Amino acid sequence: MIKNINNKIYVIENDLAANSTLILGKKGNILVDTSLFPKKAEKIKEFSKDISGKDITLVINTHYHPDHTFGNIVFDCPIVANRLTREFMKKMDVDYFKHLNMENVEIKLPNVIFENYFEYEDGIKLVIYNGPGHTLDSSYIYIESEDILIAGDTIVTGIHPEIVPDSNLDLWLNTLENMPKSLNIVPGHGAISNEIEIENMIDYLKKIKQLKEGSISPNKIENDPNFKDRKHPELFKWSLENLIPS
């Protein structure tokens, strides 16, 4: 489903699949996250041309996970990402693809690398910040003029976030606490929302920490609206298995 926040920002929204965000620039368009499937990325490419008459001239990956990066292959333009995103993608091998039940995957690495932040302007200015937590390479994009925060998987709305083996809850909380409070927040997964989702994610992760430490009961978590009202509880179970392997 495609939703427009305004006449410059379009979000290709999904349920479990990662969201992609198209930003219409002056000379060309910017795409944040390219999806898992090249065929889907091709459709986004076509939509960009249809809606604006312009090509996608810059791609941004918010982190290395396949559902945000495997569509890179269809774009012949600079791809921006944190240094660690490129390093993690370079380590993807045959065993990695087998684990995903995927074959014949062609990876296209980011080729414009930053450490802490990256600025870009083409009729609209955006700043990309490294915001570790969900993964060490996680980044988010702030467009101050439009009051929009594109959060990557640092924020997930309506469904349970994925806490992966390389997630760091303390870093994640620190990133959330320092994010700009925006009227429009585009999460990595789920529906477009607003700054309340920053507080929801902080609350969620703090309670996960308490659960891990044994200072809150599983029953209290199960009855908490910030948990029970989220879809796909299988993600919650998987996250706990990653966080508390025993």
* Range(s) of the domain holding residue 25: 2-243
Residue-wise pLDDT tens digits, 135-183: 999 999 999 999 999 999 999 999 999 999 999 999 999 999 999 999 9
In this structure, what CATH number is given to the domain that contains residue 203?
Answer: 3.60.15.10
User: What's the number of domains the chain is made of?
Assistant: 1
pTM to 2 decimals?
A: 0.96
- Tell me the C-alpha distance between 152 and 155, whole Å: 6
Q: pLDDT value at position 95?
A: 85
Q: pLDDT value at position 39?
A: 95
How many DSSP H helices and E strands does the chain contain?
9, 12
Asked if pLDDT for residue 69 goes beyond 70, the answer is yes
| CB count in 10 Å sphere of residue 235 | 18
